[in-house]
Amino acid sequence: MNKSSTGIRLIVCWVSIMGSFCFGENSSSSQRPNVLFILTDDQGYGDLSLHGNPHLSTPAMDSIGNQGVRLDRFYVSPVCAPTRASIMTGRYHLRTGVFGVTRRQEVMNPEDTTIAELMRKHGYETGCFGKWHNGAIYPETPNGQGFDEFLGFLGGVWREYYNPVLTHNDTNLRYDGYITEILTDAAIQWMEDQIEGSQPFFCYLSYNAPHTPGLVAEKYWKPFYNKNVGRWESVIYGMIKSIDDQIARLLQLLERTDQVENTIVIFLTDNGPNTWRYTAGLKGRKGHIHEGGIRVPAFIRWPGKLEPQMVSKPLSHIDLLPTLAELCGLTGVDALDLDGRSFASLLKDPTATWRDRLLISFSHGDEKKIRENGTVHSDRWTAVQEKGKWSLYDILADVRQFNDLADQFPDVVQRLSAHFEDTLATIPNLAEESPIPLGHKGQSLVVLKGHDSRFSVPRGEGIDYNYPAGFTGHWISNWTDSNAYAEWNLNVVAGGKYAVNLLYCIPTEDLGVKGYFEVDSQKLPFTISQAFDPEPYSQPFMLDGESTKYENKPWKRLSLGQVEIRTGSSTAGIRLTNIPGKAGMEVKEIELRRLN
């Protein structure tokens, strides 16, 4: 290249950097913007004062929307883990292996490239604070998926809002205070450290509020309750108000450190509201595939680069990875097998040329439910399939979905439903649970959790979870039939010798239970001769000093011995051979600790 063309190239690059948000491939990491990505849990489109909520005042959340770009038709999945997998990978959640929220249905394929891995590759420090919900065993964890720093919890439903035991990288520690504030404190300290070291950062702050159980300080819920808002609405709105106060602290940090114009701030929620409450007129709630379940508030603020405005094109969680990659000048995205498309051009100019496309909001659950339920969006139309029957709405004219136009426009239904079927046909291994990884280097302890086990019989027919859904933190209970058993599928990447511990509870009247743990044709028999039946822990409840006994309690550890586990696919299981009382023991988990 001659000197003249080199000079022209430098001028063009300089103009691009100064007048746009695009950074060249060879830009140093110090030129890249920081990213603060704030995600809340079960907060619906109507849960902000900016969207007309008559009860809430959310000035910090609103400020991100008012000072940034509001993505008015932004779609996610109807429940938590699928949305998070799509945010992380830019792919439909079914492609990542995620199709539910518990029992290994929430696990994202570790081989998928995440936005954190992409950021880190380009010189970013990466931190995840809060709810992960895409895998609890390395390499499924945040540290295994591109995050340098992690403080939070790995599963889904979380019940310790006060003084919680949280995971800091690979260590579990108890923290004092309220979880929303703890997570904010940690994120602020970490961001301050990166700013002091002049390191661009990607901070993923994933609050677990306002997900139930409804736990928040009285100063937050009482003002709503005094206005007769309603019992559940009061605590949910109180939790949202608490989050808003913490977001204000985050924004103040950026101002105090002169990072406002150097930081892209994203505010998003993961699905519709978790109770029936104000939805700004949208139909449905969490778990539903109508607008109220999958259309959420979404704002992107970058002062000096993006003007405050509204984008009305249908966009989706699968678009965030390629969009952030373009905004931050990250390369290598074209090599990824993404479903999403960058909407960076729309952020700068909502009237920019934008090719119409079809977006899908897939459902969750077993294969039958996924195939028979889902939504397809175009610029004008929304087609909704429920139990195999399609309805059609002109969403621009009928956002409340009052008028089903399927009979009037059968060709539109055919086009949108065909796209749904064609896309599903490209997804292999639909709704198959992920086996538990074992034997990874540096991962000496792997826990087989009770709620991740599969039963040999239908739930409730001789064995069950303590709560039928088997959410995170639940355990094996109501074990009345010795012909029923629990087992876990394993993917052993490196075989070895493991010490095995059992965590159990049992009342005195049920002592004498006998059974064995089995893996690779090796059996470790046991007899339960020591009673251990403590009361569940309690947390302060939201009304008048009540307390609630949430689903957790202390557990007794029993050493079962050692086994040699071979490399490859395997199955571990626990069986009871003698149940002398009304029910067998309760099992929280099995610990496998590698010895070599």
Q: Same domain for 446 and 389?
A: no
Identify the residue with better confidence: 85 or 230: 85
Assess if residue 15 is contained within a domain.
no
Domain that holds residue 391: 362-424
pLDDT at 540: 67
pLDDT at 548: 59
Query: No. of H helices and E strands in the chain?
Result: 12, 30
How would residue 159 be classed by pLDDT, with cut points 50, 70 and 90?
A: confident
pLDDT digits (tens, 9 = 90+) for 119-135: 999 999 999 999 999 99
Mean pLDDT of the chain: 92
Q: Same domain for 95 and 223?
A: yes
Q: Same domain for 110 and 79?
A: yes
pLDDT digits (tens, 9 = 90+) for 433-467: 999 999 998 889 999 999 999 999 999 999 999 98
Assess if residue 304 is contained within a domain.
yes
Element at 586 (helix H, strand E): strand 586-594
CA distance 423 to 369: 16
pLDDT at 274: 93
Assess if residue 489 is contained within a domain.
yes
Q: Same domain for 368 and 461?
A: no
Q: Same domain for 420 and 327?
A: no
Contacts 24+ apart (CB under 8 A), 457-461: 457/481, 457/483, 457/484
Tell me the CA end-to-end span of the chain in Å, nearest whole number.
Answer: 57
Complete DSSP assignment for 558-582: EEEEEEEE-SEEEEEEEEEEE--SS
How would residue 141 be classed by pLDDT, with cut points 50, 70 and 90?
A: very high
The stretches of 90-172 forming alpha helices (DSSP H) are 115-121
Q: Same domain for 198 and 212?
A: yes
Given the DSSP bridges, would you call strands 381-386 and 34-40 parallel, antiparallel or unpaired? Answer: unpaired
Q: Same domain for 378 and 494?
A: no
Q: Same domain for 398 and 310?
A: no
With 60 as the cut, is the pLDDT of residue 3 above it? no
Name 426's Cβ contacts closer than 8 Å, sequence gap at least 6.
none
pLDDT digits (tens, 9 = 90+) for 518-565: 999 999 999 999 999 998 887 766 555 555 556 689 999 999 999 999
Write down which residue in 356, 390, 414 finishes a domain. Answer: 356
Residue 424 near residue 436, CB atoms below 8 Å: no
Q: Same domain for 519 and 382?
A: no
Q: Same domain for 516 and 384?
A: no
Assess if residue 3 is contained within a domain.
no
Assess if residue 22 is contained within a domain.
no
pLDDT at 545: 53
Given the DSSP bridges, would you call strands 586-594 and 568-578 parallel, antiparallel or unpaired? Answer: unpaired
Q: Same domain for 135 and 189?
A: yes
Assess if residue 404 is contained within a domain.
yes
Stated pTM of the model:
0.93
Q: What CATH number is attached to the domain comprising 382?
A: 3.30.1120.10
Nearest to 342 by CA among 53, 575, 118, 582: 118
pLDDT digits (tens, 9 = 90+) for 486-516: 999 999 999 999 999 999 999 999 999 999 9
Q: What is the CA radius of gyration of the chain?
A: 25
CA distance 329 to 257: 23
Write down which residue in 303, 333, 356 finishes a domain. Answer: 356
Q: Same domain for 410 and 451?
A: no
Assess if residue 524 is contained within a domain.
yes
Write down which residue in 321, 339, 356 finishes a domain. Answer: 356
Assess if residue 26 is contained within a domain.
no
Q: What CATH number is attached to the domain comprising 274?
A: 3.40.720.10
Residue 108 near residue 92, CB atoms below 8 Å: no
> What is the share, in percent, of the chain residues with pLDDT greater than 70?
93
Nearest to 135 by CA among 112, 162, 118: 112
Partnered with residue 569 across adjacent β-strands are: 491
Residue 342 near residue 311, CB atoms below 8 Å: no
Domain total of the chain: 3
